Amino acid sequence: MAKVRMWVYSVIVVALVVLGTPAFGQGTASIITENVFNQMLKHRNDAGCAGNNFYNYNAFIAAANAFNGFGTTGDLAARKRDLAAFFAQTSHETTGGWATAPDGPYAWGYCFLTEKAGGDHCNSQQAPCAAGKQYYGRGPIQLSCKNYNYIAAGKAIGFDGLNDPDIVARDPTISFKTAIWFWMTAQSPKPSSHDVMTGRWTPSGSDNAAGRVAGYGMTTNIINGGLECGSGSNAKMEDRIGFFKRYCDLLGVSYGPNLDCYNQKPYGN
């Protein structure tokens, strides 16, 4: 009977892993512990950064647990690389680092809460705009600076993105959710960054012809390929890679292939 129980337990654990559901003790929190979170984002509460513990660990874990498969898809190495890539890309979007910064430039992710340039970014041709509301970048992913992305995120997550875009800079759990939603959601013809990092994406014929291949560089193409990919090296792309390498090192996982998008054509080109 004990052998039967052990066999059943093993089958359940394997099934949960295959389905992308965290098995016992294998959720996101088992990889991104609070200590690791604090090591990654060492200066997020420094003077001049977001401060007030807005980007806090409990909000991140609450947001992570709301998305099936986030940090729980694939084997342990795939899960670690996916999370390292997520934090690397969002850290670049919110970085306050500089070349000679204490602890290095890649210890300064999640410094900024809102887009430094500010601006309205209302695109009334694709979606309505609410009077007096501004749709500039907010949160870890700097929510794409367009009102229609606020509307889409709000519908998916459960907030009024049209009439209350400021909630992304007011509620830390919703703020993290917008970033994870973006990471997990394909925007055709682009795949999701999550699928790329966990081996669930297969390049199409047009992707292969454009040099778009699996690896961290592809997530840069998804996020900002039009400005950073297909033209060799540039400072922004290298900054994204620097964050990724630091986080992979902290998590004890290899970087995987294709870190850059030097030779990848952006979508739409």
Structure tokens at 43: 């200066």
- Separation between Cα atoms, residue 193 and residue 198, nearest integer Å: 9
3-state secondary structure at position 187: strand
Written as one letter, the residue type at 83 is L
**Cβ atoms of 71 and 79 closer than 8 Å:** yes
115 as an active site residue: the answer is no
Neighbour tally for 35: CB within 10 Å? 9
- Catalytic pick among 34, 93, 228, 238: 93
Rg of the Cα atoms in the chain: 19
**Cβ atoms of 230 and 261 closer than 8 Å:** yes
Catalytic residues: 93
